[in-house]
Structure 1
Amino acid sequence: MKLKFKNRIALFNTIAVAITTAIVFVVIYLVVSQTALTHLDNDILTEKEEVFSNLDWHRDSIIINKMPEWDEAEHNKIEVNPTFLQIVNTKGKVVFHSSNLLKDQFFFNPHLDQELFYNSRLSNQKIRLGQFPIKNKNRKIIGQLTIAISRQESYAMLNSLLWILLISFPLVLIVLFIASSVAASKAIQPVHQLISTASKINDANIETRLRLPERKDELYDLTKTINELLARIEASMLQQKQFTSDASHEIRTPLTAIRGTLEVLIRKQREPKVYEEKITSIIQQVDRLNNLLEQLLQLARIESGAVAAKKETLFLSSIIHALHLKWREALAGRAMAFHVDVAKEATVTADKLFIELILDNLVSNAIKYGKEYGNIFIVWNEDLKTLSVKDDGIGILAQNLPNLFDRFYRADESRSSVIKGNGLGLSIVKKLCDLQSIKMFVESQPNEGSTFTLNFPR
């Protein structure tokens, strides 16, 4: 339907009103028609009472008394508001008819035992008829009385009413469509203003927000929703810019170190031992780049939805024991004690690879940011279904906690230190937890340590 929004509103409104109006018009016509017929039937019943008052019977024979009623003009003329009378006996023979009936005869039901009203025609004139059984004192039917009156006036009135309704119906709809279109145009004018303002927003002025309407209606909700969307887009763009800047910095640093080392080496001939030291340094920088690219690829796969969690029942103690072999050298290098309080039968439903990555990152962070000769605790709470990784290291300031899971984010304490890292580990941990519906909580105090708690779904 290639109509403008305002015209669609007007069209749907017109269709709804058209249906309602049609129903109302039909009801009006039926009510007026029924009222007209009821009025005619009442006149017939009045005439019936007068006729019955002048009838008598002897056994099965009808006796008609001569009364002035039979000579009234309405029974003699057929032109203006005539009343027609016909009486037949049980054999179907007409025993009386009004003079205005001339040679015509009404059809009747000889077996009728109750009143009957119906429409018919007489000499091209529309009439309303009523047929009534004539009964003697023994309630035996001895004949039938038919009374007819003209319904030309009623027909003319109903015909005029029908034409008025048929002509007024499309006129009303046309006027209504125009009025609805004008009203809809005014109603959606604020929407055009929103479109005009929103179309001017781009990446250069993404901080622009739409003006909220004074009335808190649906348009207010729409504007508020658009503003919230713009805020999310702005935050995403800023985060993307920050990510690009941080990624460039993280990649440029080892590349610069590699380039500087190579430039030093080619300036003059050096001892083999110096070459070994410098090459070892270059290998370390290459490893750092390789680790960074691997983590970036992990983030890209997770965020693209290409990675799906394969949930299975896992024994936490066996996973921690296997990873402990990997952490043993790093723990020994810092003389740290490793404490595990996880029952052998403790199980969770999760993806094994994801859990290994999560624990590896959390414990590696605890080793890096823990203090020498410190402690790392891994504790399982069966009642709460939580696994905690706790260290007693440098801790995290309260103002840094909200940004802890942002990509490339590292607190100032770690930036100013010699601790290696690129700030991607916790971001990967958070996304892997979200994929498995695992809730993660962080508690930390400066110089007292940090606790990362994983709350597994039951």
Structure 2
Amino acid sequence: MNRAPMKSSYRNRIALNFTLGTGLLVALIFLLIYYIVSATVFNRLEKDLGYELDKHFYEVGVRQGQPYFADKAEWLEREHSELEINPVFVVLTNLSGNVIDKSPNLKNDSLKLHFSSADQAVFKTTLRGLTIAQVQLTIQANNRPAGYIVVAMPIDESEGVLFNLKVVLLIAFPAVLAILFVFTRYIAGRSIQPVLTVIETASKISNDNMESRIPVPAVRDELHLLVTTLNELMTRVEHAIEREKRFTADASHELRTPLAVIKGTLEVLIRKPRSADEYVEKISYCITEMDRINHLVDQLLLLTRFESQQEAMDMRAVDLSELTGNVLARHQQQIVEKNLSVDLETDGSHFVYSDPYMTDIMLDNIISNAVKYSPGPAGMTIRIETSGEKTCYTVSDQGIGIDPDDISRIRDAFYRSAPLSHPEVKGSGLGLSIVSRMCEMLGVDFNIHSQLGKGTRVTLSFPILR
């Protein structure tokens, strides 16, 4: 079997879709991590700047309308005299932004006052090419502004930490996706291995190998259900193919004889001129054989339709007494010709739950067999009675009977008991096979009792209508 190349395998699609979905989630997590770390760092920085601003604000006084450090000697003794790892820069300015005083660690540099910035608002700027965080506050004297105090701290290390974190996350993101794709593809490949087994087994099934079935997984999951359903489908297909083969074989076998007879009769008829009576006789014989072929084909088609007939059954109340009367009317001519007596024993209507069309076929086959195999004059009894939860329909005849060895095979299609012993009785051997199959579909018990040379009794037990 040639297979078209797959553009994208199923496991690759599973891995890709899972990786994309998980990648989106990982990206959101990484962004959240970066945001939390960034917020934590800068919140801490703002607190430190606020603390330094408050501390130095209360050390500032106002003299002659200008701010100054009230105790500069003590202030110079603190950490501002040296450049520390995280130094704090402080500047006092007048209202114009001119520097009045500053911390020694600024040396020749100074902090620039930003008039557009609000009091105690932290913002970024630069000093000596480094990034710093700066905050400023207006100094009041007698409810009037006298100057500004500006406090700043370097944030290069904090930004370095955030930059390193960003680099790590950006490198880790594609690495995580790649690892996730490879791992998911491996797991998907392991997961779909049973599916590949199903495909391999199914590809081996053909018309000559219909008995093969897909191994059912031990775990009762969706795959177990799929395999079970496929096996059931294959069983139905196998049965359908077997019915087709059987129908073809049976039809060819059964039709070959009457067609050969018709052909031989016509060939003999045209060999030389015949009288009108001979033409009528031979053509009538051929018509009879054609009727036999037509009846045989109808029965064969009916037999092959049974598998799909289950869903099309029209189950409802059926009166067996009424159907029996209709069947007897159809066979009245044969009954009269054979001088048969029919004893119909019933105490009125007997309604059963069944399909009327199929029930009519069953009764017709049973009664026609009783008429066909009863030599005249003889008697035939049809009894209908209700017992318990069943309605028993019995047809008894005084015909030729059935050999006990043939009873077990009489329901097989095309089987006839000792056909050479009564060549005058024509038949195809399909009647009881049809009855047996219909009984299975309708839930009717079908029993045959017979004695050779004494007659046959056929009983159908129907569920009664409630």
Please report the TM-score for the alignment, with normalisation by the length of structure 1.
0.65
Compare 122-131 and 409-418 and name the one that shifted more: 409-418
Name the residue aligned to 1:375.
Answer: 382
2:107 is aligned with 1:104: no
Name the residue aligned to 2:458.
Answer: 449
Separation in 2, partners of 1:324, 1:97: 132
Aligned with 1:158 (options 155, 162, 169): 162
* Root-mean-square deviation over aligned CA pairs: 5.8
Name the residue aligned to 2:33.
Answer: 28
Name the residue aligned to 1:364.
Answer: 364
Aligned with 1:171 (options 153, 169, 175): 175
Aligned with 2:395 (options 369, 392, 395): 392
Separation in 2, partners of 1:92, 1:393: 131
SS of corresponding position for 1:336: strand
Q: Deviations over 1:89-138 (max 9, x none)?
A: 9x99899874448251145666x7xxx664422345434456789999xx
Separation in 1, partners of 2:274, 2:115: 136
Name the residue aligned to 2:207.
Answer: 203
Q: Return the offset for 1:19.
A: 2.0
Q: Return the offset for 1:287.
A: 0.9
Distance change >3 Å, CA 205–CA 444, structure 1 → 2 = closer
Separation in 1, partners of 2:335, 2:50: 114
Q: Return the offset for 1:221.
A: 5.6
Compare 5-14 and 70-79 and name the one that shifted more: 70-79
Separation in 2, partners of 1:392, 1:376: 6
Separation in 1, partners of 2:91, 2:429: 113
SS of corresponding position for 2:258: helix
Gaps of 5+ in 2: 1-5, 372-378, 450-456
Q: Give the 5 Å matches for 1:270-285.
A: 279-285=283-289
Distance change >3 Å, CA 159–CA 53, structure 1 → 2 = same
Q: Return the offset for 1:429.
A: 11
Name the residue aligned to 1:44.
Answer: 49
Distance change >3 Å, CA 247–CA 215, structure 1 → 2 = same
Q: Give the 5 Å matches for 1:268-347.
A: 279-294=283-298, 325-326=329-330, 328-329=332-333, 334-337=340-343, 341-342=348-349
Gaps of 5+ in 1: none
SS of corresponding position for 1:105: coil
Kindly provide the amino acid, as one letter, of the partner of residue 167 in structure 2.
W
Separation in 2, partners of 1:315, 1:231: 34
Would you say the 8 A contact 1:299–1:428 is kept in 2? no
Q: Return the offset for 1:291.
A: 2.6
Separation in 2, partners of 1:441, 1:161: 77
SS of corresponding position for 1:255: helix
Aligned with 1:409 (options 410, 413, 416): 413
Q: Return the offset for 1:32.
A: 1.6
Would you say the 8 A contact 1:81–1:149 is kept in 2? yes
SS of corresponding position for 1:373: strand
Distance change >3 Å, CA 127–CA 261, structure 1 → 2 = same
Q: Give the 5 Å matches for 1:67-106.
A: 70-71=75-76, 81-85=86-90, 98-99=102-103, 100=106, 102=110, 104-106=112-114
Kindly provide the amino acid, as one letter, of the partner of residue 28 in structure 1.
I
Name the residue aligned to 2:24.
Answer: 19
Q: Deviations over 1:294-333 (max 9, x none)?
A: 456678899899xx9899x999799857777545546666
Aligned with 1:5 (options 5, 10, 30): 10
Separation in 2, partners of 1:92, 1:302: 107
Distance change >3 Å, CA 377–CA 419, structure 1 → 2 = farther
Please report the TM-score for the alignment, with normalisation by the length of structure 2.
0.65
Kindly provide the amino acid, as one letter, of the partner of residue 446 in structure 2.
S
Name the residue aligned to 1:420.
Answer: 427
Name the residue aligned to 2:374.
Answer: none
Name the residue aligned to 2:442.
Answer: 440
Distance change >3 Å, CA 18–CA 34, structure 1 → 2 = same
Q: Return the offset for 1:220.
A: 5.8
Q: Return the offset for 1:67.
A: 5.4
Separation in 2, partners of 1:452, 1:256: 41
Distance change >3 Å, CA 20–CA 331, structure 1 → 2 = farther
SS of corresponding position for 1:203: coil
Distance change >3 Å, CA 198–CA 298, structure 1 → 2 = closer
Would you say the 8 A contact 2:68–2:101 is kept in 1? no
Separation in 2, partners of 1:318, 1:451: 14
Distance change >3 Å, CA 95–CA 126, structure 1 → 2 = closer
Distance change >3 Å, CA 304–CA 453, structure 1 → 2 = closer
Percent of pairs with identical residues: 30
Kindly provide the amino acid, as one letter, of the partner of residue 442 in structure 1.
V
